[in-house]
Amino acid sequence: MASSEIAQCLSATLSSDTNTRIAAELKLGSLLNAPEAGLALSQLVLASDVDLSLRQSAAIVLRKYVTEHWSPYFPQFKGSAPSPEVKTQIRQAIFQGLSDPTRKIRSLCAHTISSIANCDWPDEYPDLLTSLIGLLSSLSPNSVHGAMQVFTEFIKSDLTEDQLLPVLRQLLPVLLNILGAPDQHSALTRSRTISVFRQCVESLYMVKDQYPEAVKEATATVLPVWLDAFKTLLNVDPRSDVEGTTNWDGLAIRIQIFKTLDTIQTSFPRALTPHAKEFLSASLTHLSALYPTFTHYYLQAAAAVPPSSEDEAIELTHLVCPMLDFVANIARSGKAKDWFEGTNLAGLISGVFSWAQMTRDDEEEWANNANAFVAQESDDTLSYSVRMAGFDLLAVLVERAPVATVSTFQSTIHRVVLESEQARNAGSQDWWRALEASLAAIGSDAEDVLDVIDDERESGRAKPIDIESLLTSVIPNFLVLSQFPFLQGRAFVFASQYAKLLPGQLAGQYLDAAVQVLEASEAGIPVKVSAVKAIHNFCQNIDDAVAVPMAPRIAKDIGPFLPVTSEDTLTLVLETLAVVVQIDNGKWITEDLARSLVVAVLDVWMKNNKDPIFISILTDVLESLASSPTPGVYQTVVQQALPALCNAIMSSTAVDSWIASAAIELVSSLVSGAPESGLGDGFFAMLAPSLFSCLRTTEDRDVIQNGIACLTLIVRKDINQLISWSDPATGQSGLDGVLEVIAKQLQSEDESGGLVIGDLIIHLLRRAGEAVLPVLPQLLQAMVKRMRTAKTATFLQSLIIPFAFLIHNQRDTVLALLEGMNVDGQLGLDILINSWCENAETFQGFWPTRISALALSSLFASERPSLQNLMVKGDIVVKPETKNGESRFVALVGLEPGRLGAEAKRAHAVIMTRSKTKQTPTEFTSVSFPVKALKLLVHELQSGGEAASMGFNAADVAEFDSDDGDEEWTEEEKLNQGFKADEFAFLSDMLGPRGMAFDNDDALEENDDEDLKNDPVSTMDMQAHLVAFLKECAARNTGNFAAVVEQLNPEEIVVVRKAVGGQ
């Protein structure tokens, strides 16, 4: 195939005539199936005598050819791959294009080479690296530019661990030479050397555990040289890159430097420590020096930002964001503490306040796009900005130096208020910007600022900032400035963020003013959105007594926003409504208001039934409405919502199963909000046919989980309605329907039902014991049979805990049943006990772990022969080759030696590395059930005691050597791994057994419902019970107690003796 034929076809694809263009595109598609098409395209790309647009078109088609015809490696591969010989020719031609005089051709060839490298390197393209480094070493700026574009992608995606270190030895010196040659290479090419270097640093970090000595040597020799180069480059006045130049290409180098500094701080902080203060000072200098440029181009929009020489957008914001991130990272680490003081701290905070100002582009977008305006201040916003980066830095400063930072807030806002007033009097139309930004900055960390104020007040010291003065003397003046809507809106939001400091009467006036804005037809998007945000905050932060008089009015005002908003704005409106309907537990809600809100809520759901965030908020709103104590409101909510939700469940198909899933969630919210008297006549009769039909046929995990959770709630709230119902079509009872759901889950290989199926069984046994008795033996046999094949810890817990509950209440009856149960030749009791003993330490939830312990103690005390000689899995066998790994792991997670649970043991095996684990598989001892039961009870006793009994010795942990750069921590922080003592104590509790301190009754997990929280099992003194149990066993020598104790490990024996001896 001749290049001329391809060229002719490509020219026709650029024709303005539609028919000609379509015909040419079809012909081109058939030509690309020819084996020599790629070679013809590559030759056309290099043809300097051909029109540039045609060469560019050929390069674009060539990359498409590579992804579709090069190799099955590419997902888009369509066949007709060229021969190895032709591939070699194509690669050589494209590589030659990296040095082409035309920049766009070089860039297009670089993209294609990167694609080919993904597939062919190193096996079929072994000389690529050498060739690229050769180009970099050449004196040709064009060749260096082309090669750098390939390297930018290459290092990131293609180098393996073994290849990395040899390549870096060749590559990094060449990159440094290019960076240091501004006369030979463009600023953008030099910036790419830093980008590639950063990727090298990231790659080194990834392999530092595998090659510790090599990486240590590399970082010790390489990083200081580059850091010195960075200092030299940053010491050049940044204004030289933005003043008197046709482009801002020079900023690209600074952008890459700060991104790389942030990476080094994260990966190898110790290497950066000696240089930290210089880079911090450079950051402050950049903030100050570039601010006039920011004002000119962004705040005033007096001129357009010049494009770069390569058509890449280079903005000041691209530099300031990583710069602020770097400073925040250093501050967070605790390094260079003495730098963050005095004039440096004041300059940094003042700089953030200044750079956080709204630009003209922000103003235009936010004035017309409510979603963008809401999103820019959302905690989980995806659009990162200078404002967000600045506020993040301020939050770190408040955390690290609270009083000094908040005091600087006071002096800075005081200055801004005065300067803004002067600018306003001088006729400036931008006088409000700095004020809005400053209020936004102080409001962004309101919770922490309030904590600092409280701490200082409680210590008898003067408050570091006078928010009350702002709220009484400054902010009210801005609430009526409708011609400056962003400042007006900010004033409302700021007041609501600090509403806790407002006297009741003033808080009511602020809330009333916000509601008036909501009702004002002439108010624009920014101020209305701000008013909604302010109402949300006020209703959360002020007394119900202040908010109740206005609650009906607010709810009516918010309702009309629901059908006309979307995305982030709709989320804000819904969240606000959710807060409003909770005021004073909804006692003020009327039937009419409830009816209109339910209609609006269901309308929102119908339009957004795939959005989990909306559904979560809608369930909260429905539950709050349903739980209103006003007579008739619950019935009104159910009458309005339940029929529509049942129809949605019934009509949902496998294709749109999310509709049924969400509808069931919303039904559950109605059940949750139902009064103690029950669900009301006809509730379950209306729901049951659609719910059971759905659960009978669906395979969707979310539908199954939500459906089981809904049935569990119904069992808890109104079991009689479920038991008394029968399907008019089939005659199946409600209880049979529930048992059918359970049976389906037990037969399914999908264990995603996890804990929810266990909760349903538990509550069914607790609430419908008598009704379940006839089918209980079959149910228990099915559960035991499923235990043998269950794989996940949560599913096993669902199968075991119901037995624990039954044994705790009817031990001998259940044991007799299990002893007579045969499952494929194995005793049911053996299966249960082995599964139980192996997984007991992984059980989640407060009530389940306690009922397990109580049942185990009951089994131990039973002295049944069937249990005495039953052998189960014991402790992990610690071998010499695994001992260090276990010791380190134990110290890190804060457990006592020898106290690794099943999950911890698995984690420990991974820490050893996969290869070591294969060579030394984990082994366990074999012990009798009474020994294992006593071990588990001893561990439960320890986990229920003081934090110290968990063996967490912070000093031991602190001995581990790592490159964490902790040499500048205070003594308190060194002792507590960089945390303050109270922070570390909290983390120690979190790292305790099952992730929470069990001597804290407030630590009951959210998953443990109210029924179980109020159950005697949850409220009893577990530690006292276990101590009494051990004492009684010792006194009576229950189950040959003394001999069993001797089989425990030394630490466990000490615990038992202390308990029995009453020490």
Q: Express each pLDDT in 225-258 by its tens digit.
A: 999 999 999 999 999 999 999 999 999 999 999 9
The burial class, CB within 10 Å (0-12 / 13-18 / 19+), for 427 is exposed
User: Between the CA of residue 166 and those of 57, 170, 271, what are the distances in Å?
Assistant: 37, 7, 21
What count of other Cβ atoms lies within 10 Å of the Cβ of residue 729? 8
- What is the pLDDT, as a whole number, of residue 283? 98
Quick check: 588 pLDDT over 90? yes
Q: Which residues pair with 826 in a beta bridge?
A: 823
- Read off the pLDDT of residues 704-743 as tens digits, 9 standing for 90 and up: 999 999 999 999 999 999 999 999 988 999 999 999 999 9
Mean pLDDT score, 1002-1028: 76
Contacts 24+ apart (CB under 8 A), 135-140: 135/98, 135/99, 136/171, 136/174, 136/175, 136/178, 137/174, 139/184, 140/99
Mean pLDDT score, 790-813: 93
CA–CA dist 342, 345 (Å, integer): 5
pLDDT band at 944 (very low <50, low <70, confident <90, very high): low
- The single-letter DSSP state of residue 472 is I
What count of other Cβ atoms lies within 10 Å of the Cβ of residue 451? 14
Token digits of residue 437: 């930004």
pLDDT band at 21 (very low <50, low <70, confident <90, very high): confident
- The single-letter DSSP state of residue 56 is H
- What is the pLDDT, as a whole number, of residue 892? 34
pLDDT band at 211 (very low <50, low <70, confident <90, very high): confident
- Which is nearest to 335 in space by CA: 272, 378, 384, 281? 272
Q: How far is CA 928 from the centre of its chain?
A: 43
- What is the pLDDT, as a whole number, of residue 981? 53
- What is the pLDDT, as a whole number, of residue 8? 85
- Which is nearest to 160 in space by CA: 105, 123, 195? 123
- Read off the pLDDT of residues 1021-1047 as tens digits, 9 standing for 90 and up: 999 999 999 999 999 999 999 999 999
Token digits of residue 692: 């059971």
pLDDT band at 199 (very low <50, low <70, confident <90, very high): confident
pLDDT band at 339 (very low <50, low <70, confident <90, very high): very high
Quick check: 831 pLDDT over 90? yes
- Read off the pLDDT of residues 255-283 as tens digits, 9 standing for 90 and up: 999 999 999 999 999 999 999 999 999 99
- Which is nearest to 225 in space by CA: 164, 168, 147? 168
pLDDT band at 950 (very low <50, low <70, confident <90, very high): very low
CA–CA dist 266, 705 (Å, integer): 40
- What is the pLDDT, as a whole number, of residue 109? 94
Among the ranges given (595-609, 816-830, 943-957), the one the predictor scored with the smallest mean pLDDT: 943-957
Token digits of residue 650: 């019934």
DSSP string, 951-965: T--HHHHHTS--S--
Q: In this prediction, what percent of the chain has a pLDDT beyond 90?
A: 62
Taking a C-beta distance cutoff of 8 angstroms, is the pair 605, 647 a contact?
A: no
CA–CA dist 795, 786 (Å, integer): 10
- What is the pLDDT, as a whole number, of residue 893? 34
- Read off the pLDDT of residues 443-483 as tens digits, 9 standing for 90 and up: 999 999 999 999 999 999 999 999 999 999 999 999 999 99
Sign of the dihedral defined by the CA atoms of residues 468, 474, 476, 478, in that order: negative
Quick check: 179 pLDDT over 90? yes
- Read off the pLDDT of residues 280-311 as tens digits, 9 standing for 90 and up: 999 999 999 999 999 999 999 999 999 998 87
Token digits of residue 335: 């390094």
- Averaging pLDDT over each range in 519-533, 655-669, 874-888, which range is the top one? 655-669
Sign of the dihedral defined by the CA atoms of residues 120, 121, 123, 128, in that order: positive
Residues near 479 by Cβ (< 8 Å), separated by ≥ 6? 488, 491, 492, 510, 513
Helices 633-651, 657-673: crossing angle, 10 deg rounding = 160
First and final CA of the chain: distance in angstroms?
94
Quick check: 638 pLDDT over 80? yes
CA–CA dist 861, 1029 (Å, integer): 9
CA–CA dist 26, 13 (Å, integer): 9
- Which is nearest to 129 in space by CA: 165, 93, 176? 165
The burial class, CB within 10 Å (0-12 / 13-18 / 19+), for 110 is buried
pTM value is: 0.78
CA–CA dist 59, 53 (Å, integer): 10
pLDDT band at 161 (very low <50, low <70, confident <90, very high): low
From the CA atom positions of the chain, what is the Rg in Å? 35
Quick check: 879 pLDDT over 80? no
- What is the pLDDT, as a whole number, of residue 714? 96
Q: Which residues pair with 733 in a beta bridge?
A: 726
User: Between the CA of residue 11 and those of 16, 35, 65, what are the distances in Å?
Assistant: 11, 21, 17
Pairing of strands 924-928, 871-876: antiparallel
User: Between the CA of residue 487 and those of 363, 532, 572, what are the distances in Å?
Assistant: 11, 15, 20
Among the ranges given (150-164, 488-502, 625-639, 907-921), the one the predictor scored with the smallest mean pLDDT: 907-921
Q: In this prediction, what percent of the chain has a pLDDT beyond 70?
A: 87
Residue 871's SS3 state is strand
DSSP string, 913-948: -HHHHHHS---EEEEEHHHHHHHHHHHHHHHTS-GG
Mean pLDDT score, 534-548: 94
What count of other Cβ atoms lies within 10 Å of the Cβ of residue 259? 19
- Which is nearest to 151 in space by CA: 123, 121, 124? 121
CA–CA dist 616, 421 (Å, integer): 45
- What is the pLDDT, as a whole number, of residue 947? 28
Mean pLDDT score, 325-329: 97
User: Between the CA of residue 422 and those of 370, 427, 475, 1006, what are the distances in Å?
Assistant: 31, 9, 17, 54
DSSP string, 529-592: HHHHHHHHHHHHHS-HHHHGGGHHHHHHHHGGGGGG--HHHHHHHHHHHHHHTTGGGGTT--HH
CA–CA dist 741, 724 (Å, integer): 18
CA–CA dist 598, 795 (Å, integer): 36
Helices 734-747, 776-787: crossing angle, 10 deg rounding = 20
- What is the pLDDT, as a whole number, of residue 894? 36
Residues near 579 by Cβ (< 8 Å), separated by ≥ 6? 536, 539, 540
Mean pLDDT score, 690-697: 95
SS3 readout for 290-304 = HHHHHHHHHHCCCCC
Q: Which residue has the tokens 């395209």?
A: 41
Between 1015 and 509, whose confidence is greater?
Answer: 509
Residue 823's SS3 state is strand
Helix or strand (DSSP H, E) at 446: helix 446-458
Among the ranges given (159-163, 496-500, 505-509, 586-590), the one the predictor scored with the smallest mean pLDDT: 159-163
- What is the pLDDT, as a whole number, of residue 1000? 39
- What is the pLDDT, as a whole number, of residue 764? 93
CA–CA dist 268, 198 (Å, integer): 12
User: Between the CA of residue 802 and those of 144, 765, 785, 799, 847, what are the distances in Å?
Assistant: 69, 8, 14, 6, 12
Quick check: 780 pLDDT over 90? yes
- Averaging pLDDT over each range in 405-409, 871-875, 918-922, which range is the top one? 405-409
Quick check: 180 pLDDT over 60? yes
Token digits of residue 116: 């080919």
Token digits of residue 338: 């003495």
Q: Which amino acid is at 11?
A: S
Helix or strand (DSSP H, E) at 777: helix 776-787
Q: Which residues pair with 726 in a beta bridge?
A: 733
- What is the pLDDT, as a whole number, of residue 771? 86
Among the ranges given (23-27, 328-332, 786-790), the one the predictor scored with the smallest mean pLDDT: 23-27
Token digits of residue 681: 């006549």
Taking a C-beta distance cutoff of 8 angstroms, is the pair 115, 64 a contact?
A: no
Quick check: 157 pLDDT over 80? no
Q: Which amino acid is at 881?
A: E
DSSP string, 666-678: HHHHHHHHS-TT-
Quick check: 956 pLDDT over 70? no
Residues near 75 by Cβ (< 8 Å), separated by ≥ 6? none
Mean pLDDT score, 74-102: 91
Mean pLDDT score, 210-215: 85
Taking a C-beta distance cutoff of 8 angstroms, is the pair 401, 339 a contact?
A: no
Q: Where are the beta strands (DSSP E) in 351-444?
A: none
Quick check: 358 pLDDT over 90? yes
- What is the pLDDT, as a whole number, of residue 741? 93
Quick check: 881 pLDDT over 80? no
How does the average pLDDT of the chain come out, rounded?
A: 86
Quick check: 754 pLDDT over 70? no
CA–CA dist 508, 505 (Å, integer): 5
Q: How far is CA 1060 from the centre of its chain?
A: 46
- Which is nearest to 886 in space by CA: 905, 914, 903? 905
